[in-house]
Amino acid sequence: MQPNENTGHPRRWAILGVLVISLLVVVLDNTILNVALRTLADPVHGLGASQGELEWSINSYTLVFAGLLFTFGVLGDRAGRRRMLLIGLALFGLASLLSAYAQTPGQLIAARALMGIGGAAIMPATLSIISTVFDPRERARAIGIWAGAVGLAVAIGPVLGGLLLEHYWWGSVFLINVPVVALGVALVALLVPESRDPEPGRIDAFGVLLSVVGLVALTYGIIDGGEHGFGRPLVWASIVGGVAVLAWFVVHERRSSHPSLDVRLFRVPRFAAPVAMIGLVFFAAMGVMFFSSFYLQLVRGYSPLETGLLFLPFAVAQLVFAPRSATMVRRYGARAVSAVGLVLTSLALGAFAFVDAATPIWVVLVAFFLQGVGMANIMPPATESIMSALPREKAGVGSAVSNTIRQVAAALGVAVIGSVLAAGYRSGIEPALAELPPAAGEAAGESIAGAYAAAGQLGPAGPQLVAAANESFVSAMHLAATLAALVAAAGILVALRWMPGRSGAGAPAPIGEPELAGAAPGQGQ
């Protein structure tokens, strides 16, 4: 083979377009439902879902999705990534149809769990197929486009959801997935080649089982603790049990002759460092996106559609800068690009520590744009570094690890930063509750949304409660934003210490070669 010969698939750019379509529908669904929650709670126009049922309509998806990502990455490497992508899309489309026509909250929760199974099959397959159809020299650019699609979907989900709810019934936010999935299935079948690990060996069934149990238990504890507080034994039993099972998984994988995940990879800086960066930045960013939606809709009074539109600067920044990050990495190195991206993200998240009810909205828009620019220059080099640490036939494992860390970190960020926000809010609002009727005081003390609902029943005293709730929420938001910025800033240290510089890129070493047998922390820098 000639040195400059491109080893990528002839249709690789068309295949990337198909994979982006497949990815968009999964990520969109993570954000589009948020704007429909108020409608779903309405007994006339929705399902009359309780607060707990609304939470589980979101979390049943997240729990299954996070728990099965690694498993489906491993299975895709063995059974075929194209096959896994087609199965995932079909399940996702069926579950979307069932969700749209659910008659009870319980049916919706079950359909969302099925949707999580489909999403877990789709997500790792898209990234691993990119690794197999693109030449290593083009892979960074392709991953940049892939990461830009993720950012676009996160931001346009609320906009699309708001538009659908203004014109159609609540089920339209799920029904919109069906034609997109049908198009995706047809294009995948037509364009995407099959690929798998040519020497998969025996499947590590026990290791796969441990990963599912550990991830589900950990994610459940994180979610439940974020919703109902971390003071209950069940929450800690779930979290500690999940961590213990995952530790057992690591020990088992180290001893197994046919491991699902070669844990020696975490001794390789260009695999372990970007995994840590992704975890830190998604912990911080998803926590802030969680409370910024409440800030915009309640404190500032924007509608769901207007709130979605305010997130567009984040999407624009992702679209513009993520595909260009590969060029930046070639010029300045992954270490510099990642560190600058983390600095921008930390500044953007920290800006919310100085925002209040009267801050000009353009300040918030600039913060969202800076966050988009920052994350656009973190995700592509981090993901490329992870994928380049593995040979092509192991791409599903790298993709699954990256996506699992991101999903669990996002759930942990929402739970922990949400808990900090809730505790700060309750502390601030407490003096204003003394003179309220017990029912109104209890509702107002739970959340700012509860305070707004209670204020509507209090007549002339309502505006005073709203003002106190806004002040308490903004004060708590400042504390939560400071925590998020500090977590993101920790990623800067990881990038500067362990990410490769301009000369750090290289071809992936096969499993078991010296690089994986004990690379020094500064290797490849």
What is the per-residue pLDDT across 401-410, written as a single tens digit (0 to 9) for each?
Answer: 777 777 778 7
| Range from 49-53, 108-112, 196-200, 212-216 that averages highest in pLDDT | 108-112
Contacts 24+ apart (CB under 8 A), 228-236: 229/419, 230/419
- Whether pLDDT at 283 is above 80: yes
Question: What's the rounded Cα separation, in Å, for the pair 492 and 343?
Answer: 7
More confident call, 5 vs 236 = 236
Instruction: Summarize the confidence of residues 147-153 as an average pLDDT.
Output: 73
Cα dihedral 32→34→38→40 (10° resolution): 60
Residues 6+ apart with CB under 8 A from 369: 313, 314, 316, 317
DSSP class of residue 456 equals T
Instruction: Summarize the confidence of residues 82-94 as an average pLDDT.
Output: 92
DSSP code string of 221-269: HHHHHHHH-TTSHHHHHHHHHHHHHHHHHHHHHHH-SS-SS-GGGGGSH
Lowest-confidence segment of 233-242, 299-308, 452-461 by average pLDDT: 452-461
Residue 433: the pLDDT is 78
Q: What is the mean pLDDT of the chain?
A: 81
162, 174, 113, 149: which is closest to 27 by C-alpha?
A: 149
74, 115, 150, 63: which is closest to 378 by C-alpha?
A: 150
Helices in 377-461 by DSSP H: which ranges?
Answer: 379-388, 395-433, 438-446, 448-455
Residue 393: the pLDDT is 62
More confident call, 166 vs 514 = 166
CB 378 within 8 A of CB 499: no
Question: What's the rounded Cα separation, in Å, for the pair 274 and 81?
Answer: 24
Question: What's the rounded Cα separation, in Å, for the pair 509 and 525?
Answer: 16
pLDDT bucket at 446, cuts 50 / 70 / 90: confident
CB 290 within 8 A of CB 414: yes
Instruction: Please name the amino acid found at residue 170.
Output: W
DSSP class of residue 510 equals P
Question: What's the rounded Cα separation, in Å, for the pair 86 and 118?
Answer: 9
Instruction: Summarize the confidence of residues 362-379 as an average pLDDT.
Output: 92
Question: What's the rounded Cα separation, in Å, for the pair 445 and 433?
Answer: 7
- Whether pLDDT at 3 is above 70: no
More confident call, 110 vs 228 = 110
- Whether pLDDT at 341 is above 90: yes
Instruction: Summarize the confidence of residues 179-195 as an average pLDDT.
Output: 88
Q: Which two tokens stand for residue 315?
A: 């999407």
Share of the chain above pLDDT 70, in %: 88
Share of the chain above pLDDT 90, in %: 20
H or E element, residue 7: none
Question: What's the rounded Cα separation, in Å, for the pair 396 and 125?
Answer: 7
Residue 490: the pLDDT is 95
- Whether pLDDT at 245 is above 50: yes
- Whether pLDDT at 63 is above 50: yes
Could you tell me the pTM of the whole model? 0.76
DSSP class of residue 503 equals T
Q: What is the pLDDT of residues 420-439, one digit of tens each?
A: 888 888 888 888 877 777 77
pLDDT bucket at 396, cuts 50 / 70 / 90: low
Question: What's the rounded Cα separation, in Å, for the pair 406 and 270?
Answer: 17
Q: What is the pLDDT of residues 342-365, one digit of tens each?
A: 999 999 999 999 999 999 999 999
- Dihedral pair phi/psi, residue 198, rounded to 5°: -70, -20
Q: Which two tokens stand for residue 420?
A: 């900090």
Q: Which two tokens stand for residue 98?
A: 């069932």
- Whether pLDDT at 511 is above 50: no
Q: What is the pLDDT of residues 467-484, one digit of tens each?
A: 888 899 899 999 999 999
Question: What 3-state DSSP class applies to 430?
Answer: helix
- Whether pLDDT at 503 is above 70: no
> What sign does the dihedral 310-315-320-324 (CA atoms) show?
positive
Instruction: Please name the amino acid found at residue 254.
Output: R
Instruction: Summarize the confidence of residues 397-421 as an average pLDDT.
Output: 76
- Whether pLDDT at 90 is above 90: yes
- Whether pLDDT at 133 is above 90: no
Residues 6+ apart with CB under 8 A from 43: none
Residue 506: the pLDDT is 42
Set out the domains of the chain in order of their start, with CATH numbers. 11-194 (1.20.1250.20), 205-259 (no CATH), 269-502 (1.20.1250.20)
Residue 405: the pLDDT is 79
Contacts 24+ apart (CB under 8 A), 189-193: 189/86, 191/11, 191/14, 191/15, 191/18, 192/15, 192/18, 192/19, 192/82, 192/85, 192/129, 193/9, 193/15, 193/82, 193/133
Residues 6+ apart with CB under 8 A from 5: none
Question: What's the rounded Cα separation, in Å, for the pair 274 and 324?
Answer: 19
| Range from 53-57, 180-184, 394-398, 428-432 that averages highest in pLDDT | 180-184
